[in-house]
Amino acid sequence: MNKEKIMKILNTAKLVAMWIVVAIAVFMMIFTLISNRFNRTDKSLFGFKFFIVQTDSMSATDFDAGDMIISKAIDVRELKEGDIITFVSQSSHNYGETVTHKIRRVTEDADGSIAFVTYGTTTDTDDEALATVIIGKYVGKIPNLGIFFAFLKSTPGYIICILVPFMILILTHGLNCIRLFRRYKKEQTDAMNEEREKLEKERAEAQKMMEELMALKKELAAKETTDGTSGDTDEG
């Protein structure tokens, strides 16, 4: 494998590595912006809401602490036994917290409005969810993303996942700029040297031509002198 092929492979590898770093940096930036909507009952993305699971109350059947779950708004009249719903707890021990549990049965509250008795499949403890506090129906999960999100929010996570990729990106672009500047200066220097060599060559050729003309002039002058001397001799 010749040097040219090796350099081509190295340049391709550098380009691929740079684009990987760019992709990571962009992904982290987008993820950071989207993450502001996590665990927010008043924020959604295309109608979906995202929550980080804090406990293992549903780990026996559906999701674990550290998973990210996705819920979507739904007409409460469509909910039925066995559905998993996200709601704001009204219980005294965790009032105001966001809970995602499975419906044990559909019931009614004191006013006759629809309500639900839910439970965690691990704890098997009942809690009540009124129609007015239901956020949405559970539609899926992203395993362990909450753990990554928690790490990203920490100082080491920020440094490793966001700061370092952007610093590498900035450093790479800086080195490319320096390399391009040096190449530009080298091309300028090479062009100036080439022009100088061309001028020196033309000067040398002109000087040589001048020397040839001077030599020819001397030769002609010497010939004229010889001819003149010969003519004087014949007249005598």
Residue 114 lies in a domain: yes
pLDDT at 60: 92
Residue 167 lies in a domain: no
Domain count of the fold of the chain: 1
**Long-range contacts made by residues 198-206, C-beta under 8 angstroms, separation at least 24?**
none
Kindly report the CATH number assigned to the domain that includes residue 122. 2.10.109.10
pLDDT at 156: 87
Contact 45, 53 (CB under 8 A): no
Residue 125 lies in a domain: yes
Residue 170 lies in a domain: no
CA distance 102 to 49: 17
pLDDT at 34: 65
In order of 96, 210, 218, 226, the CA distances from 222 in angstroms are 120, 18, 6, 6
CA distance 83 to 214: 110
Residue 105 lies in a domain: yes
CB atoms within 10 A of CB 177: 10
CB atoms within 10 A of CB 198: 10
pLDDT digits (tens, 9 = 90+) for 95-139: 888 999 999 999 988 788 899 999 999 989 888 888 889 999 999
pLDDT at 141: 93
Domain that residue 80 falls in: 48-143
Residue 169 lies in a domain: no
Residue 57 lies in a domain: yes
pLDDT at 80: 93
Parts of the chain with a pLDDT under 70? 1, 29, 31-37, 39, 41-42, 227-236
pLDDT at 190: 84
108-125 burial: b if 16+ Cβ within 10 Å, else e = eeeeeeebbebbbbeeee
Residue 193 lies in a domain: no
